[in-house]
Each structure stands twice: as structure tokens, then as C-alpha cells.
A and B are shown apart, each in its own frame.
Chain A
Amino acid sequence: MGGRSRGSTYAGPLLALLAGAALISGCGTGRPSSTSAWQSASDRVLGTAISGLGTARIAVEQERRNGVFHTYAVVTATDAIETTGKEISSYQVAQPPDALHSANAAVGDALDEATSLLVEVRVTLASPGLTAESASRLVKRIDALRDKLDKLDKAVEKSPQSVGSR
């Protein structure tokens, strides 16, 4: 009670410092992660890429049948690139487990492919004159890549060692 301070102590700041130090030391990027951590990180990033492609697919289809405002479709594709890009870059800075370097490379290649397709979608959407034909070609390519990523995702979960070792 009373409300008077009984001399200042350094316990509070010291604890905060210790906690901060503990946090920082836990976030080193140099050390390889465990297999399960790599699996869940890969699953997450592949999921984001699949999601970005799905979004792009809807945007292309709606643009073709004139269901969205032109700007809206472009913004949607831009957002998809940004979201996917963010996830990919945070995936790429993590060190994969020693046994999974080739698997990591395979996932990385697939992600690159997804990014470039998303960029292509955005460019196509933003430039005038999307024909029904070019739209359906884009949709087909998106679907094919989604399929591929899906398979890769399943392989990552089942047997990570086999990924990329063809």
C-alpha cells in the first residue's frame, strides 16, 4: 500500500535485457533447421504460392468475362505477387538441413517459376487487350503449375529426401 517507491532497483531493466538477448540468440539464421521445421516452412511457402496462383486465376477469368474493374484485377495480381514474394523471401533466408540441399533447391526453383508466372499474369492484365484465347492459355498454365506445386508439397511432406533427387 502507501504508494511510495522504496528505492529503485535494476531488476526490471535487467530482466528485459536478458529476455531480449535470449530472443536474439534464438533467431540466428546461419544454423540449419531441423527436417520437420524445413518441411513445415516449405509447406507454408508452397501453400502461399498455390494461393497466389489461385488468386491470379480468378483475376484472369473475371477480367476475361468483364466481371471486374480493370484496375481491380491489376491490384489483385499485384497483391498476389507481394504476398507470395514476402513469404518466399523469408523462406529463402533460412538454412535448410544438410541432407536436404537439393530438395531445397527444387522447392526454390518451383517458387521462382510461380513468381515469374504471377508477374506475367500481372503484365498481361495491365496491358490492354486481353483476348479470350490468351486468358484461357494463362489459366491453363496456372493450373498446370498449381498441380506441380501441389505434388511437390505432397512429396515434401511424405519423403523430403526424395525431392529434387531425380
Chain B
Amino acid sequence: MKKVFEVALGILTAIGGFVDIGDLVFNAQTGARFGMSLALVTLIGVLGICVFAEMSGRVAACSGRATFDLVRERLGPRMGVLNLVASVAVTLMTFIAEIGGVALAIMLVTSISEVLIVPFIGVLVWAVLWRAKFTVMENVLGFLGLGLVAFAIALWQLGPSWSDLASQAATFDKPGKEDWLTYAYFAIGLFGAAMTPYEVFFFSSGGVEEKWTDKSLGIMRANVLIGFPLGGLLSLSIAGCAAVVLGPLEVDVAALSQVGLPAAVALGKIGLAFVIVGFVAATFGAACETGLSAGYSIAQFFGWQWGKFVRPKQAARFHLVLILATLLAIGVLMTGVDPILVTEISVVFSAVALPLTYFPILVVANDRDYLGEHANGMLSNTLGTIFLVLVVVAAVAAIPLMVITHMGAGV
């Protein structure tokens, strides 16, 4: 049983990266509009995040240095600060959105206005970040988040024409009514969502929290190979469900309530209940992941003590950052801003942060000062280089595409 819980870090990281509030909506939107024609992008994104999460996890396990340490150490303070600003902006925006997302998910069954419950959720998230043990947080949220597996079951229950879905996924084509630029925007959005920088910040720092050593490399790889593909599977199931149920009705997904409808159609109330529990856990988990990641990256940049593996008193500045982040999130959400819109804007910042995060990981993963005999082999280096190029292309193209396509609304 202990072995089962050892992969919780990977699952929580992946849930935060693949099915947070923005991704839930984005995946469903993609499915409804493009069918499964973008599935390949998700699969490529899963492979990419696996490659880099494995590298950053390996560095963390062998040297105790988490990702933002590497960013500043290899790129120097100037590029480091640029990445810090961009990454913290993405991470905080996502953090804000996630707290709003928990409120949206709770609203689905209580219909209390989200503005009213946001402060309570904010305080609850902060309490978890402050008090809860890292492993407890990971296990509870990771496993409740598995409620989203209901989407996979729903898709199977819906009994779509599998060969149809597969051929959509395998061919490089788009539905006739969409244009190629919008298709490209969605492709980059999916790829960027799969590879958001806070996933590696959280995963590598989480490895340090769990006191990984070079003997933990097996556990670390199990985390990567189970967690991220599971996240990818969940996001594909959501897209698939939306493609089957919402696509024919030309529903353009913009709200969380629409995302859950296919599960209700296929499985009724029980399926919907699982999905809602999954929504709450996934957004709550993503809130914890992004909140901690913001704290991790700032503390690591300045060299402050961080982490939940020491008492809060011993990492006072780190916890101060978490408090400030929570207050900021509550304040922003009280203005009534749409959380889903907030995550879409954060794409702009991740465009800057992606290459500046993955490049130093790739370089340091070759450095024997850090890794000794566990330095990158041929496979990691080849895949790492390919994905670095892809990340740069995505980063360059993201902003122009967002402007041209009005955030995916169409040219």
C-alpha cells in the first residue's frame, strides 16, 4: 500500500498541470470544437513534460537543488530575474484562478455565489499550505482528484465510434469550419498547458520535500511515468467526452458547468458526483501546487529557506510569501473577475518562462557536479533538445497567435 502512495506527488503535479480550472475548460472546449484532432498535441505535451520532469526530479534527488536554483545558477541574476517575474506571474495568476475554480466547483452543487465563498477557500488553502503535512496534502488531493477518471468511464459508456475518434487523432487535419490559425492557437495552448513551468518547480521541490536521494530515482521515475500520462489521459477523456456530447450541439465551452455535462449524460448523478469531487480536488490541488510553486521559486531565487519539510518558523519568509499570495488571490477574486479568463491570460507569461526554465534544466542535467553518474544519457538529451526547440517555437508563436485569433474565438 505504501508503494501506491509513493506516486502521489506525480499524480498531484500532473493533475495541477493537466486538469486545473483553465485546462478543464480548455480541454473540453478543444474537444467540442476540434474533436480529437488535437489529441496528438496532448500526447506530445505529455512526453515533453515527462522528459523534463524526470530531469528536474533527477537533479533534485541527486543534489537537493530544485529547479529555480538551477535557473538562477546557470542563467545568472538578470535572466533569472526575468524568468522569476514571468514564472511568478503565471503561477500567481493560476493560483488566483484555482481558488476561484474551487469556488466555481462548489457553486455547481450549492449555487452559493462564488464571491461569497472565495475568502473561506482562500483561508482553507492557506491553512493547508501552512499546517498540513506535505504527504497528507499530496495523498488526499491526488486521490480525490482521481474522481475525474469518471470522464474516462463516461467516454467508454457513451460508446462513440472509436475508429472515428482514432482517425481524427491520427490525421493532421481540422474541422472544416475552423481556420488553421485558431487550430494552431489551440495546439499551442494545449502544449503550453501540458508544459507549464510550475509543474517542474513543484515536482522538483516536492522531491526535496520528500527527501529524495539518488536511491529514490526509481520512485521518481514511477511518479513521472504514472502521474503525467494519467494527467494526459484525463485531459484526453475530457476532450473526448466533449467531442461526443457537446460537439454535435455546437456548444462552445466557457463555463465549468458545461464541462461536467457529458458525465451526467453518460453516467447520471453518480458520475456527476465523482466528477464534481474531482473538480474540487483538482482545483484545490492545483491551488496548493501553484501557491507553493510561487513560494518555492521566489525563495529559491533569493536563497531563502523554503519548504514544508522544516517548521514554518524556520522558513518564515517562504510562509510570508504564501500568506501574501493568498491575500492577493482573495483580493483579486473579490473583484468578481472570471477565473477562467485569468488562466488564459497567463499563457502570455508562460511563453517567456517556458524556454528560460527548461534550458537550464537541460544543461544542468548534464553537469556531473550535480548528478555524478546519473547525468543525462543519449535518450534524455535527444528528447530534451527536440522539446527545447518545440518550446521555443511555442513561446515565440503564442502571443501573436493569441492576438490574431482573439484568444481562440476565430480570425
A binds B: yes
A88, CB-defined interface residue at 8 Å: no
Q: Determine whether B107 belongs to the interface, using a CB cutoff of 8 Å to chain A.
A: yes
Contact B272 A69 (CB under 8 A): yes
Contact B251 A69 (CB under 8 A): no
Contact stretch, chosen from B43-51, B119-127, B231-239, B257-265: B257-265
Closest to A51 in B: B252
In the bound complex, what is the Cα–Cα distance between A69 and B109 (angstroms)? 7
Residue of B107, B108, B256, B261 with most chain A CB atoms under a 10 A cut-off: B261
Closest-CB distance, B293 to chain A (whole angstroms): 29
Residues of chain A contacted by B276 (CB below 8 angstroms): 72
Check B111 against A74 for contact (C-beta < 8 Å): yes
Q: How far is the CA of A19 from the CA of B319 in the complex (A)?
A: 39
Chain B neighbourhood of A79, CB < 8 A: 254-258
Return the contact of A71 from the options B108, B258, B261 (Cβ within 8 A).
Answer: B108
Q: Mark A52-72, 1 if CB is under 8 A from B, else 0.
A: 001101110010001111011
Q: Given A40-B410, A48-B252, A79-B258: A71 and B110 within 8 A (CB)? A: yes
- Judge whether B265 and A76 touch: CB under 8 Å: no
A69 engages B269 (CB within 8 Å): yes
**When each residue 232-252 of chain B gets 1 if its CB lies under 8 Å from chain A and 0 otherwise, what string results?**
000000000000011001111
Within 8 A of B (CB), among A74-90: 74-76, 79-80, 82-83
Distance in angstroms from B377 CB to nearest chain A CB is: 38
In contact, B246 and A54 (Cβ under 8 angstroms):
yes
Q: Tell me how far the C-beta of B22 lies from the nearest C-beta in chain A, rounded to whole angstroms.
A: 16
A101 interfacial by beta-carbon distance below 8 Å? no
Confirm or deny: B324 has a beta carbon within 8 angstroms of a beta carbon on chain A.
Answer: no
Given contacts A44-B409, A62-B261, A67-B264, contact A75 B107 (CB under 8 A): yes
Residues of A within 8 A of B258 (CB): 55, 76, 79-80
Let me know if A72 and B265 touch, CB within 8 A: no
Shortest distance in angstroms between B177's beta carbon and chain A's nearest beta carbon?
Answer: 9
Residues of B with C-beta under 8 A to A82? 255
**A47 on interface, CB distance cutoff 8 Å:** yes
Q: Are A58 and B255 in contact (CB under 8 A)?
A: no
Of the candidates A40, A66, A75, the one whose C-beta lies within 8 Å of that of B269 is A66
Bound CA span A76–B254, Å = 11
Chain A residues with Cβ below 8 Å from B256 are 79
* Complex Cα spacing A71 to B111, Å: 6
Q: Which chain A residue has the least Cβ–Cβ distance from B270? A: A67
> Is B175 engaged at the interface, CB distance under 8 Å to the other chain?
no
- Closest Cβ of chain A to B28, distance in Å, is 11
Q: Is the interface of B mostly helix, strand, loop or mixed?
A: helix
The answer on a CB contact under 8 Å between A51 and B107 is no
Enumerate chain B residues within 8 angstroms of A121, measured Cβ to Cβ. Answer: none
Count how many pairs of residues, one from A and one from B, have CB atoms less than 8 Å apart in the complex: 80
Instruction: Give chain A residues whose Cβ lies under 8 Å from the Cβ of B110.
Output: 71
Q: Is A50 an interface residue (CB 8 A)?
A: yes
Interface status of B400 (Cβ within 8 A of chain A): no
- Contact between A50 and B250 (Cβ–Cβ < 8 Å)? yes
Residues A67 and B269 in contact, CB atoms below 8 Å apart:
yes
Q: Known contacts A67-B268, A74-B111: does B409 contact A59 (CB below 8 Å)? A: no
Q: How far is the CB of A117 from chain B (nearest CB, A)?
A: 15
Q: Which of A51, A54, A55, A75 contacts B111 (CB 8 A)?
A: A75
A54 touches B250 (CB 8 A): yes
For the complex, give the distance between the alpha carbons of A66 and B269 in Å: 8
CB nearest to B252 among chain A residues:
A51
CA distance A58 to B247 in the complex (A): 12
Given the known interface contacts A48-B252, A72-B257, the answer about A40 and B111 at a Cβ–Cβ threshold of 8 Å is no
B404 at the interface (CB under 8 A from A): no
Residues of B within 8 A of A75 (CB): 107-108, 111, 257
Task: Please determine whether B255 and A83 come into contact, CB atoms closer than 8 angstroms.
Answer: yes
Flag whether B411 is at the interface (Cβ < 8 A): yes
Given A57-B249, A76-B258, A83-B255, check contact A71 B109 (CB 8 Å): yes
Chain A residues closer than 8 Å to B249, beta-carbon distance? 51, 54-55, 57-58
Q: Are B250 and A67 in contact (CB under 8 A)?
A: no
In contact, A55 and B272 (Cβ under 8 angstroms): no
Q: Do the beta carbons of B250 and A47 come within 8 Å of each other?
A: yes
Q: Given the complex of chains A and B, what is the CA–CA distance between A27 and B273 in angstroms?
A: 45
User: Taking each of B110, B245, B268, B411, which has the highest tally of chain A beta carbons within 10 Å of its own beta carbon?
Assistant: B268
B251 — which chain A residues lie within 8 A by C-beta? 51, 54-55, 58
Residue pair B254, A83 in contact (C-beta under 8 Å)? yes
By the criterion CB–CB under 8 Å, are A76 and B111 in contact?
Answer: no
Contacts A58-B245, A58-B261, A59-B261 given; does A47 touch B252 at CB 8 Å:
yes
Residue contact A76 to B261, C-beta cutoff 8 Å: yes
**Of A50, A54, A58, A68, which one neighbours B272 at CB under 8 angstroms?**
A68
Most buried by A among B245, B251, B256, B268: B251
Q: Could you list 12 further interchain pairs (A-B, Cβ under 8 angstroms) beyond the known A47-B250, A62-B265, A68-B272?
A: A40-B410, A47-B252, A54-B246, A55-B251, A55-B258, A55-B261, A58-B246, A62-B261, A66-B269, A68-B261, A76-B257, A79-B255
- Pull 6 A–B residue pairs with CB atoms less than 8 Å apart, ordered by A: A51-B254, A54-B250, A55-B249, A72-B109, A75-B108, A83-B254
10 closest A-B pairs by beta carbon, nearest first, are A54-B249, A79-B255, A51-B252, A76-B257, A54-B251, A68-B264, A67-B268, A83-B254, A51-B251, A79-B257
